[in-house]
Amino acid sequence: MADKLDYQNRRLLLLRLLDYRNATKQNLVQWTGLSNTTVSDTINAMLKTGFVHTDGMQKSIGGRRSVIYSINGRYGQFAGIELYAQGVRMALCDAEGHIEKTFHVQRLPQELPIALLYRAIDMLLEQPEASNVLALGIGIEGEIDHSTQTVLKSDTLGWQNVPLKEIVERRIYLPVFIDSAVNGQVSLRKYTEGERCPAHFMVINGQFPSKAALCIDGHLCRGQGSRCGSAAGFSALAGQAAHTLHTLGLEKVWVACRCEAQMKEAERLLCPCSSADICIHLAGPEELAWGMALFIVARRTLSALRCKAAVFVRGAPPPNFSIKHQ
């Protein structure tokens, strides 16, 4: 029970630091509702892992200056991957979420999606800049069983019941997390907006118009079978945008488009008579991959906190690593 409570405290503080970039202990007390003693003990424990470090002192406002704590960007690297029908986009970022390098690998004629993914990951890990990759996040379009990390169905890739996490981890000996590519956009919006990010919002990606990511009370909503957000894209909102957005109580909707035609369609369907703040923009080519990288910064670090491990050693099986061989 004590270990579970300790993990929950670390998780809460870590998520707030990831959301706000840096904070004093008093900030964390206000944001989490934890006691001063709990915050102090938890921060001190996290300092020992190396993921959190001190980042200067707060400006004096008449009293004792407070220490500022932030994520240690040098803790390690995280790679986000967007796997789609024509290729792979990748983003390599540090623990603070700053992009260090982006890659794009085009699919070869007759190349199977899994062969494309293997080739792209090999290229990534061979880069001199990728010297301390701790985890990979792979985003695809399709239906995913989040609990088993299995791709139940992906029409664009021609997959059905593919245990992708198990397959990739067996090859590269790194922690791998699988999710719908658009779900990584929740992490991206929290990162880019910081304190301005609302608690209730939706992200729609024009490239995947049948899937949206929904964030309520600051948390990604998955629903049964991770189907929350399915069919919540442009077509589902057509003609009833105002009613749908009002019913969900959303404060903001981000629509990431890849071309001018998608932007015009989004404006036609979503903007009229909506009480939510609609932000339609042209997305950069690495946006989905960056979102997946930010997504796994939290996932990988929370996993380390749960098992009280600092890092996995690249090139060797992680602790308690096991694969069910068929």
Q: How confident is the model at residue 109 (pLDDT cuts 50, 70, 90)?
A: very high
pLDDT at 263: 84
Amino acid identity at 137: G
Examine the pLDDT at 267 and tell me if it is beyond 90: no
Examine the pLDDT at 137 and tell me if it is beyond 70: yes
Residue 277 lies in a domain: yes
Joined tokens for residue 77 = 């690297």
Q: How confident is the model at residue 87 (pLDDT cuts 50, 70, 90)?
A: very high
Helix 2-20 and helix 287-306: axis angle, to 10°? 150
Instruction: Report the CATH number at residue 57.
Output: 1.10.10.10
Examine the pLDDT at 83 and tell me if it is beyond 80: yes
Residue 313 lies in a domain: no
Residue 312 lies in a domain: no
* pLDDT tens per residue, range 169-209: 988 888 899 988 888 888 888 888 887 888 898 888 776 65
* pLDDT tens per residue, range 209-260: 567 888 888 888 887 656 666 655 555 555 555 666 777 788 888 888 888 8
The Cα–Cα gap between 131 and 109 comes to 31
Residue 233 · residue 287 · CB < 8 Å: no
90 and 234 share one domain: no
158 and 230 share one domain: no
Examine the pLDDT at 322 and tell me if it is beyond 50: no
147 and 296 share one domain: yes
Residue that terminates a domain, selected from 71, 98, 130: 71
Count of CB atoms situated within 10 Å of the CB of 264: 12
Q: Which domain holds residue 13?
A: 2-71
What is the three-class DSSP state of 39? helix
DSSP-assigned letters across all residues of 252-301: EEEEEESSHHHHHHHHHHHSTT-SSEEEEEEPPTTHHHHHHHHHHHHHHH
Residue 80 lies in a domain: yes
49 and 171 share one domain: no
Residue 318 lies in a domain: no
Task: Report the range of poorest mean pLDDT among 28-42, 58-72, 127-141, 281-295.
Answer: 58-72
Percentage of the residues of the chain whose pLDDT score is greater than 70:
79
20 and 137 share one domain: no
- Residue 111's alpha-carbon distances to 106, 118, 304, in angstroms, are 10, 11, 35
Joined tokens for residue 24 = 């004093």
Residue 311 lies in a domain: no
pLDDT at 302: 64
56 and 126 share one domain: no
79 and 179 share one domain: yes
The Cα–Cα gap between 91 and 111 comes to 22
pLDDT at 119: 94
> What pTM was estimated for this model as a whole?
0.81
Residues in the chain: 326
Nearest to 13 by CA among 3, 29, 99: 29
The Cα–Cα gap between 253 and 256 comes to 10
The Cα–Cα gap between 87 and 318 comes to 29
104 and 250 share one domain: no
Tell me how many domains the chain contains.
Answer: 3
Residue 204 lies in a domain: yes
Examine the pLDDT at 90 and tell me if it is beyond 50: yes
Beta strands in 155-242 (DSSP E): 159-162, 176-180, 201-205, 212-216, 219-220
Instruction: Report the CATH number at residue 179.
Output: 3.30.420.40
163 and 297 share one domain: yes
Q: How confident is the model at residue 303 (pLDDT cuts 50, 70, 90)?
A: low
Count of CB atoms situated within 10 Å of the CB of 148: 13
Residue 141 · residue 106 · CB < 8 Å: no
Residue 321 lies in a domain: no
pLDDT at 252: 86
Strand partners, 106: 87
166 and 87 share one domain: yes
126 and 167 share one domain: yes
pLDDT at 242: 61
pLDDT at 164: 94
Residue that terminates a domain, selected from 12, 38, 71: 71
The residue to which tokens 């380390």 are assigned: 304
pLDDT at 231: 56
Helix 184-193 and helix 2-20: axis angle, to 10°? 60
Residue that terminates a domain, selected from 71, 95, 130: 71
168 and 299 share one domain: yes
